Structure 1
Amino acid sequence: MGEIIRTGDFIDRLRRQNRTVSLVEHDPGTDSSLMRGRFCDIELRRGLSVHVSDVVSLCDLTAETEIRPHMSIKFFFEGKVDAEIGNRRLPSPQQIPPSSRWIPAACMLANRQEERFRNHTSAGNHIRKLKIRIEPEWLAAGDMFADRSAGAIERFARSEFELLSWQPTPALLKLANRIMSPPEEEACLRHLFLEAQTLAVIHECFKLIAGGNADAGAPVAALRASEERKLAEAEDYIRDCTGRMPSAEEIAAHLSVSVNTLHRLIRRGRTVGTASFVRTTKLRQARHAIENDGLQIARAAHLAGYSSPANFSTAFRREFGVPPKAVRG
């Protein structure tokens, strides 16, 4: 599903923000089909833009560019990321076996000099990512650094080269996903919605730099591999409960743990309560079925455990910021 992006169009889009673009190791030709899906840039204000990618690569490709001085915030929701800027590798989301669930990754980048960016992707790789690009002129126009309290943010933004990676919280991911899937409405309102969500993301990420109690994903103790497998097993069980949302007692029994242990595991690993964890897992399952299988809204509602399509649509919009019909291919 989605549009076909040809190699020539891909190169043209990259050149709008970078000085040079070259394909190395394998050049499929400018008229060849490079990827399929959504690949778009949206300028919100002068010096502030977002880039959305939700694509499947149709061939192996390695691209190199020279990126100009700027600051950016990147979210990698799913797919294998094999990229580096300068001599620093970008973070990649992690897939937890045996389920197909991805743990997203995020990073902030600042560079005052041109830096080499190299990215490799393989045929069949599905990449879903968001980039917020912040130019020096946008920061200057907002008089961001006039107050002394912005010292840490200013030092980061004006670094020769700085890269900060972390695992974003569900709250920040919800904001980022709203940018990925904005509501269907008049163009002016849609633009306003995108700018509001983008500013909210920047706010949380700047709080992280400043050392505040951000909702962006301040460092926490990582779960052990065995605990991640337990959570993945819980998600698989929840998805298998077609037409209903299993209780905490059911899930705990399936995992052979106590209910209190289940609550603590979910709170540590996903920073949400158990009921929210179950609801979000079912809604994501329904969204995947709508997007990829063309499932009807009423059937998707049943899959997610809702007897009423209207209640399902309300919960779906609250979770993703758009109604179910907006994500149909």
Structure 2
Amino acid sequence: MVPGMFIPADHHRHFVTKEDLMGQKESRPKRWLSPSLETDDQVLRGAIGFVKLEDGLTARFSNAEDLHDLTLEAECGPRICVSLILEGQIDAFIGEFKMPMPVYDPEAHHWTPAALVFSQSKPEKFVRIARKGVRIKKVILSISHEWLFGHLELSDQDFAVFKDFAERHFATLKWTPSAHAISLAEQIIAAPKRTPFQYKLYIATRAYGVLEEAFQKFSSQHTPAFVNAVDGKDRQKLESVERFLIEQQGHWITADELAFTAGMSPNSLQRLLNRTYGLSTARFIRRFMLEKAREALERDGLTISEAAHISGYSSPANFSTAFKREFGLSPKQVT
């Protein structure tokens, strides 16, 4: 396999061997933990890709099904990572941090992607534990601190926000990817086979689009809420809270309703949100729902009335007032 191996249209008939997987040039070295296989044994059905776009900026992507209960580990150096996992669920750990995975709705036959920006300020061990028959569709963009601050000027109004995030070990920032970002990720995953230069250019232009959307969340106008490190059980509770809020529209969610959904007392939820985000439950709900509306306005072309509805406001006027109070801009100014 060569770096940036394209994913063919007939990827379900394409196979990746142990040698392919372990021998990707320029990708981080991996250690094979299980199962015991020969180098020419097939381990994935589909394809994987790795492209070095610039010094300090790489793209890793896949659309592949595991053919075994497979466990790998590797060392990851300090970096900022933008992760967009479209489909599938595996157990992936960086140190003690467990990567969030997409959620599948069996009734709608639909995956809700998991999008995350996280920082590593020191080296950590990456462990991937996958089950036979699970297909993962993902794009992972890794950025060195040197790349970021080589492009970000000290005079930039968001410099301090990025610096604070980069220096905090396992700081995380989730966002709901727009239809545009998902489309860019799909194009990266299914990049057509071209000359090496054209192929790399094709990947790079789409990777920059994903970065642009993810990094918008660092804007001082967005007042991002970075997540402090939390343990596994608390992270599961936070993920259930966020999934619930993403799915809600048409009515306002109360603190008691959210606590009930999370299986917690209102006081316990308040303490968790304050410890993780520095926010009260009411403030967290308002910010989360307004961010959801802003993303829909900016990327998906919703009307103000539609954005009000998905954020739980029955009155577009009340929504507009809350929106301007949160972001310093009216809904019309972001469309």
- Answering whether residue 96 of structure 2 is matched by residue 96 of structure 1, we say no
- Answering whether residue 154 of structure 2 is matched by residue 146 of structure 1, we say yes
Equivalent in the alignment of 1:18: 28
Distance in 2 (alpha carbons) for counterparts of 1:93 and 1:151:
31
Q: 1:181 and 1:33, CA in 2 relative to 1: closer, same or farther beyond 3 A?
A: closer
Contact 1:2 1:38 survives alignment (8 Å): no
Which structure 2 residues correspond to residues 292-303 of structure 1 after superposition, within 5 A?
none
2:171 match: secondary structure = strand
* Cα displacement string for residues 187-235 of structure 1 (whole angstroms, at most 9, x for unaligned residues): 5444333222212221221121234459xxxx8942259x9xxxxxxxx
- Answering whether residue 271 of structure 2 is matched by residue 222 of structure 1, we say no
Distance in 1 (alpha carbons) for counterparts of 2:169 and 2:185:
27
Equivalent in the alignment of 1:162: 171
Distance in 2 (alpha carbons) for counterparts of 1:8 and 1:183:
23
- The TM-score with structure 1 as length reference comes to 0.61
1:191 match: secondary structure = helix
Distance in 2 (alpha carbons) for counterparts of 1:100 and 1:130:
21
Distance in 1 (alpha carbons) for counterparts of 2:146 and 2:248:
43
Q: Aligned to 1:69, which of 57, 78, 82?
A: 78
Contact 2:35 2:68 survives alignment (8 Å): no
Contact 1:68 1:114 survives alignment (8 Å): yes
Which structure 2 residues correspond to residues 21-100 of structure 1 after superposition, within 5 A?
21-100=30-109
Which structure 2 residues correspond to residues 117-266 of structure 1 after superposition, within 5 A?
117-142=126-151, 144-149=152-157, 150-182=159-191, 187-213=196-222, 221-224=245-248
Distance in 1 (alpha carbons) for counterparts of 2:188 and 2:155:
29
Q: 1:212 and 1:26, CA in 2 relative to 1: closer, same or farther beyond 3 A?
A: farther
Distance in 2 (alpha carbons) for counterparts of 1:198 and 1:212:
23
Equivalent in the alignment of 1:6: 17
Unaligned 5+ runs, structure 2: 1-11, 224-241, 252-291, 303-335
1:119: how far off?
1.2
1:103: how far off?
0.8
Letter in 2 for 1:90: M
2:218 match: secondary structure = helix
* Cα displacement string for residues 290-314 of structure 1 (whole angstroms, at most 9, x for unaligned residues): xxxxxxxxxxxxxxxxxxxxxxxxx
Contact 1:17 1:68 survives alignment (8 Å): no
* Cα displacement string for residues 85-106 of structure 1 (whole angstroms, at most 9, x for unaligned residues): 1211111111102232111111
Equivalent in the alignment of 1:253: none
Q: 1:33 and 1:145, CA in 2 relative to 1: closer, same or farther beyond 3 A?
A: same
Distance in 2 (alpha carbons) for counterparts of 1:88 and 1:54:
23
1:129 match: secondary structure = strand
Distance in 2 (alpha carbons) for counterparts of 1:32 and 1:184:
25
1:37 match: secondary structure = strand
1:179: how far off?
2.2
Contact 2:86 2:111 survives alignment (8 Å): yes
Distance in 2 (alpha carbons) for counterparts of 1:211 and 1:16:
35
Which structure 2 residues correspond to residues 100-115 of structure 1 after superposition, within 5 A?
100-115=109-124
Equivalent in the alignment of 1:236: none
* Cα displacement string for residues 103-159 of structure 1 (whole angstroms, at most 9, x for unaligned residues): 1111112112111211111111111101111123322432x1422512111221232
For the aligned residue pairs, the C-alpha RMSD in angstroms reads 3.1
Unaligned 5+ runs, structure 1: 228-266, 275-329
Q: 1:185 and 1:206, CA in 2 relative to 1: closer, same or farther beyond 3 A?
A: same
